[in-house]
A and B are shown apart, each in its own frame.
Chain A
């Protein structure tokens, strides 16, 4: 079933009697009926790390659908980790630690209910890929609320992430017009170094929370580097499915990889200022100034050393 067909079917089902048919199903385990929590696959990491590409390859396979950035992780994570300060241990705060049982349940229902309503075709089985890079800040909470679900930790060199983000927000780019309409203020503007610093900081926040969730998660999980995905997509995808313990049809996977390959994207849809920019690991050497490299490396140093030890400090080589 192609993604286009899936979307059309979903619309048709939602407009009709699908909800009743969902009510008839039974999981047989006392689990709420709907999308099975163990069939949920989260993609966490950070924006501009190839999550759309990875999610699209997975969505193309039969019996899969993709929930594109619900921001449910952002809803809880941003609030809990950054906005409430020292209130977490108190009795009053709604997400207080000692009352966790009272809010993990509704959080779980929010995801499962939202999934069942949006993806009725998955109620009898099939996998739901939740692409949530910009909600990674809440990944520890979500993985705790849905421990049966599976997790992909997708990471990319922070220097390339910052370079890509800067391009996406540059004047006339694919994102700038949208953000202009939304009156966002986080575009690079005149002070690119300030933007680089801000983006590197958000990278650290998101990746550290993703790593925390990944370490704590006892279920099926896999860590993927964007660079490995680019270097050998098919074999890396095989590793992804093996890590998630999901059987996959080899031929179907190869077809999906081919369909979504960089080479198959029309030339006019690629390049600077476009959503698909250059897909070139290490491209930051051409994109960032030495000052910007220094800023990003200083802020992300521990993560660079952990995940990219060979090129952790490349500023001197520029």
Chain B
């Protein structure tokens, strides 16, 4: 009701936020949530390769709204003065919607003609429930991976001299010393908590979303990429050209990545489900299983404890 009233107050007689003529269609947005180091770059690269698709690489809009709403001001939800207060949720969700649609239209004008926009947003997964509520027509991929492998991958990534340091250097900064080096067990605990926060909220959004959606495990994607991709498109109800899909899968396969770009400390590390057994100490495995236990049991019931 408040949202409708604000539209009237604005007095433009316009359709809902961001749905102006020539804009990006909300139903053509495909969100990819989960958490970092789950294969979202790989999956979005396969999808982005196909004609009619564009890829938005980590806008962080989920982090923008989710961080204040769930973490820093989570206690103020019922306070009617709070800008993201529950009483005015319809109103500010409208703004969230406009943020996404206007920004998408400005960056990807080609999508306005009816193409699809893959929004790779693993690091904004905390805000997934808000985004899916603001854009209920959009489609959603929940990409999950065994938390022990996710933590092991992050542990490697944050050591000295790895690809994350190179990334920071490109941005003009030196990577500060990481807990991954000085206190690895504490780092592991922090990463496990982050997994629970991100995947937990993404799962909440997935369960609540009444639209087109699909849950994908990284392990299935590795075991049978082409068939898992077919399942994704079927779940999202998006037609795809078989030959084009097969070509894209082949192009982005692990085997096609040059050997010198793979290995420890590199962005493409080992892509080996269960590799955590070689990477984590028994104590670290116990930490992850302790923190992420409920999600682990829900998503990986067969092998939830080591």
Contacts and interface: CB of A to CB of B under 8 A. Distances in A.
A99 B64 contact: no
Given A19-B2, A86-B173, A117 B88 contact: yes
A317 interface: no
A103 B172 CA distance: 26
B173 A85 contact: yes
A23 B68 contact: no
A246 to B, nearest CB: 22
Q: Which of A67, A69, A84, A92 has the most CB of B within 10 A?
A: A92
Nearest to B67: A79
A53 B4 CA distance: 36
A118 B9 CA distance: 13
Interface of A: 19-20, 22-23, 26, 32-34, 67-72, 74-76, 78-79, 83-87, 91-95, 99, 101-103, 105-107, 109-110, 113-114, 116-118, 181-182
Contacts of B168: 85-86
A20 B1 CA distance: 11
A23 B171 contact: no
A33 B61 contact: no
B81 interface: yes
A83 B63 contact: yes
A72 B59 contact: no
A68 B64 CA distance: 21
A94 B91 contact: no
A114 B59 contact: no
A78 B11 contact: no
Contacts of B1: 19
Nearest to B172: A86
Contacts of B10: 32-34, 109
B42 interface: no
A116 B5 CA distance: 10
Nearest to B59: A94
Contacts of A83: 63, 67
Nearest to A79: B64
B99 A106 contact: yes
B9 A33 contact: yes
A23 B8 contact: yes
B72 A74 contact: yes
B60 A74 contact: no
B5 A94 contact: no
Contacts of A71: 68, 73, 76, 82-84
For the complex, would chain A's binding face be called helix, strand, loop or mixed by DSSP majority? helix
A109 B84 contact: no
A145 to B, nearest CB: 12
Interface residues of B, number: 47
B68 A74 contact: yes
Contacts of B208: none
A99 B6 contact: no
Interface string B68-91: 100011111000111110001001
B2 A117 contact: yes
For the complex, would chain B's binding face be called helix, strand, loop or mixed by DSSP majority? helix
Contacts of B2: 19, 117
Contacts of A87: 60, 171
B95 A110 contact: yes
B22 to A, nearest CB: 14
B103 A103 contact: yes
B186 interface: no
Contact of B171 (A33, A86, A105, A117): A86
Contact of A72 (B9, B67, B83): B83
B60 to A, nearest CB: 6
B57 A69 contact: no
* Closest CB pairs A-B (n = 7): A86-B171, A19-B5, A23-B8, A70-B83, A94-B59, A182-B75, A94-B61
A312 to B, nearest CB: 31
A85 B171 contact: yes
15 contacts: A20-B8, A32-B9, A33-B10, A69-B81, A71-B73, A76-B64, A86-B173, A87-B60, A93-B60, A101-B106, A109-B10, A110-B95, A114-B88, A117-B91, A182-B75
Nearest to B55: A92
Contacts of B65: 75
Nearest to B4: A19
A114 B103 contact: no
A109 B60 contact: no
Given A92-B56, A109-B98, 5 more contacts: A23-B11, A67-B81, A78-B72, A114-B83, A182-B75
B59 A92 contact: yes
B172 A99 contact: no
A69 B68 CA distance: 13
Contact of A26 (B5, B11, B72, B91): B11
Q: Which of A84, A86, A94, A110 has the most CB of B within 10 A?
A: A94
Contacts of B98: 105-106, 109
A109 B95 contact: yes
Contacts of B60: 79, 84, 87, 93-94
